[in-house]
Amino acid sequence: SEDLDNLSQAMGIMQHHDAVTGTEKQAVASDYDRMLFKAIVGAENSARDALRSLTNLTSGEFKSCLELNISVCTFTQDTANNVIVTLVNPLAHSSTQYVRVPAKNENYIVTDEKGREVFSEVIPVPWLVLALEHRSNDTQHELVFKASVDKIANFLIRVLPTPKNIAEDQVYFPAERS
Amino acid sequence: QDELTVETSLVKLTFDTTTGGLKTVEMNGLTENIQQTFGIYKGYRGNNGESKNRSSGAYVFRPSGDIEIVNNKVELSFYNGTKVKEVHQHVNEWISQVIRIYEDVNRVEFEWLVGPIPTDDDVGKEIITRFSSNISSKGKFYTDSNGREILERERNQREHFTPDMSEAISGNYYPVTGQISLQDDEKRITLLNDRAQGGSSLKDGELELMLHRRLLNDDAFGVGEALNEIQYGTGLIARGKIYLILDAVAGKPNQRLLQHQLDQHFWKFFSKSNGVASVNK
């Protein structure tokens, strides 16, 4: 509960009008970053404990990836083989969304909780994202699949032996540079 | 070929491969010419001595002169997946975008990436994206009120007073926390955003959203420093999403539930396991 209190307090501070609108000084913005990061990482312990109780993965890691916005996840960057993705739907109603998981260019099979295959495909990350400074370049693709989630749903990702060739699906229209 | 066509069972997009830009959108039984561009407003630099000399800054959007449209040829690459179709657009060294359509999803997703905004020329810049169509919106457009009520806006007008429109660009900007739209008797274009942004319709058929700002002067409204991202040395890179929906006009514009998907997407947690996981009843 201490972790959750910290997150609750950090979120309370983020209701300040300067935090909402971005009219805080740069040093204050950096301090908000620090507070939020610390609070989020702290609350991951509570999320993991809760998800261990709510699923049959009693020793699951339930790791978050805070760099998914730049298509990076250290948990999947070496291999996304035998990885469970647990999706939690924060909405008050069921929702169907396409999910993207940073992954290597391999041939994957994604299955739902009943072991049924869910269609998935691997697509390249745009090269300007790959070129971002400080971004580790280990992951150059994303695995995409469609998920319907009531509140919580689990999907298992496994790697199949045959490598997938995506190059033939790509068409390139270069600009004429002066 | 001069055109690139990208389609799913619900949405069809056409791109002009000579310019690299979007040309038409076809969905919900309607077709509309929709061009999308990126533009730069130069931030006004004043001395803050009196209100008319106030600089563009954290609290104030105050462009200096007219917009500069980024109109160099856009480099395209197209990924033709089974359920996902993506067009990657490389606009310039610091603006790029993915335009994406998914099978069974009735909208077009624009994932933009802007920054670091260069300031080598000592000019602050405010970057927008603009969608232009032939829809005859007659000066009217719609923005949400904190994600709830949709409010009608009329260009160069206010509901209860006659405004001074000597600053016609910023004077027509409104907060867009969830959506902005315009329509004629037949068609409506709605843009849904994933964060609060400024937005407007400065011409009939046009919608624009402010994506990223980097400014070199304080506006003297309280923050006491320029919005210059200077702590990071080279400035920040921002990435975000806009959904575009073209549909028929029927009743008031409303995409409230879809709006939630943009900022409250599924939370992802990762574990190693050889077996299938299940949720306890």
ipTM here: 0.91
| Measured distance CA(A65)–CA(A75) in Å, rounded | 8
Task: Name B156's Cβ contacts closer than 8 Å, sequence gap at least 6.
Answer: B139, B163, B165, B168, B171, B172
Task: Name B28's Cβ contacts closer than 8 Å, sequence gap at least 6.
Answer: B106, B245, B246, B247, B248
Query: How close B189 gets to chain A, by Cα (Å)?
Result: 22
Q: What are phi and psi of A135, to 5 degrees?
A: -85, 130
| Measured distance CA(B277)–CA(B281) in Å, rounded | 13
Task: Name B169's Cβ contacts closer than 8 Å, sequence gap at least 6.
Answer: B41, B63, B67, B200, B202
Inter-chain touch A87–B266, beta carbons under 8 Å: yes
Q: Give the per-residue pLDDT at B251.
A: 62
Task: Name the residue of chain B whose CA is nearest to A88's CA.
Answer: B267
Q: What is the mean pLDDT of residues B204-229?
A: 93
End-to-end CA distance of chain A: 61
pLDDT at residue B228 tops 70? yes
Q: Give the per-residue pLDDT at A77.
A: 87
What residues of B are in contact with residue A88 (Cβ under 8 Å)? 266-267, 269
CB B56 within 8 Å of CB B126: yes
CB B73 within 8 Å of CB A168: no
- pLDDT tens by residue, B114-141: 999 999 999 999 999 999 999 999 999 9
A134 in reach of chain B (CB within 8 A): no
- For each of chain A's 178 residues, which pLDDT tens digit applies? 999 999 999 999 999 999 988 899 999 999 999 999 999 999 999 999 999 999 999 999 999 999 998 999 999 988 889 999 999 999 999 999 999 999 999 999 999 999 999 999 999 998 788 888 778 878 899 999 999 999 999 999 999 987 555 544 566 666 554 3
Inter-chain touch B267–A88, beta carbons under 8 Å: yes
For residue A105, give the nearest of A83, A132, A119, A124 by alpha carbon. Answer: A124
Torsion angle in degrees (nearest 10) through CA of B133, B26, B249, B175: -50
| Measured distance CA(A127)–CA(B280) in Å, rounded | 41
CB A93 within 8 Å of CB A149: no
